[in-house]
Amino acid sequence: MLMTVDIPNDLAIRLNPFKNELPQLLELGLHEYNLPKKTTGFQGVNEILEFLAKLPTPEEILALKPAQELQLQINTLLDKQRNHGLSVAEEQQWQQYEYLEHLVRIAKANALLKLQAKNE
């Protein structure tokens, strides 16, 4: 099915590097969106996408960090990966966290560039 969506120009620019991966990005976002909310903070892709869709300031983006519960889950998976290996489900979860980190790094790099350009 072909679907057309209007989004702000700034968001379109940030999504452009992912244009070939948009269906997967939207699928991950919908998956996260449908999960029950457990705590405040950033637990996954949905929260990051919602945060970025609000067009935060560069300072807000640079201050972005995972929720404590998410960081504990990541640390647990890291330990398990080093010592025993991951199950298929855990490997999928790990890949999602890697993707989430990738999104945040891109956002932070762009935010830093904006701050540097503003200070010149």
Are residues 100 and 67 in contact, defined by beta-carbon separation less than 8 angstroms? no
Are residues 89 and 62 in contact, defined by beta-carbon separation less than 8 angstroms? no
Are residues 61 and 48 in contact, defined by beta-carbon separation less than 8 angstroms? no
Residue range 9-55, pLDDT digits in tens = 988 888 888 888 888 777 777 766 665 554 334 556 677 788 888 88
- 83, pLDDT greater than 90: yes
pLDDT at 15: 86
Q: Global pTM?
A: 0.58
Nearest CA-CA partner of 46 in 72, 67, 63: 67
**Mean pLDDT computed over 89-107:** 87
Q: What is the percent of the chain where pLDDT is above 70?
A: 87
Q: Which residues of 28-66 are buried (b: 16+ CB within 10 A; e: fewer)?
A: bbeebeeeeeeeeebbbbbbbbebbeeeeebeebbebeb
In angstroms, rounded to a whole number, what is the distance separating the alpha carbons of residues 55 and 96? Answer: 23
